[in-house]
Amino acid sequence: MSTLADLIEIYIKQQLKQSEDQAVEISRAQLAETFSCVPSQINYVLTTRFTLDRGYLIESRRGGGGYIRVVQTNHQGKNKVAAKLFQQIGHAINQRDAEDLLLGFHDLEMISLKQLQLVRGILQRETGLYDLDKDHLRASLLRSMLFIVVHQ
């Protein structure tokens, strides 16, 4: 028997298959209503089942009902996906999200394992020296290092 999370995942994947550009825009609230669950259940499915290492990119839009765009990355060029990953860095990024982005670049074969480990080590060392604004420093360092590594 399928769990609710499985059913939501299947539904979203069916929507992706039917789309022409391997992307679908969904409303968190409408999807929660369809499956008679709370919106946080939708968030759970998106964050655990539609990850970059599984070949998906999630763009979240606040306001207007909380629309989310799910993009199947393996159907786009690496440069488009890399550009979207760079955008996800933003002005600040926490340690976990930075790690996910590094793994995403590695999965796209845009950085080697050695480069991933080097960037990871520098981020941990440099941000460990500061108590305040670690997320801002991490974002700035990550953006700069990935730009250099990817464009070698």
Q: What are phi and psi of 26, to 5 degrees?
A: -130, 155
Q: What is the pLDDT of residue 63?
A: 58
Which amino acid is located at 144 in the chain?
S
State the alpha helices, DSSP H only, in 4-132: 4-18, 28-34, 39-49, 78-89, 95-107, 113-127
d(CA 72, CA 56): 5
More confident of the two residues 33 and 75: 33
Give the whole-number percent of the chain exceeding pLDDT 70. Answer: 86
Is the full-model pTM beyond 0.85? no
Of 51 and 3, which is predicted with more confidence? 3
Q: 77-150: which CATH architecture?
A: Orthogonal Bundle (1.10)
What digits encode the pLDDT tens for the residues 23-38? 898 898 899 999 999 9
For 25, the 3-state DSSP assignment is strand
Considering the segment(s) 4-74 as one domain, its CATH architecture is 2-Layer Sandwich (3.30)
Q: What is the pLDDT of residue 75?
A: 47
- Per-domain boundaries in the chain: 4-74, 77-150
C-alpha–C-alpha distance, residues 15 and 77, integer Å: 21
pLDDT of residue 48: 86
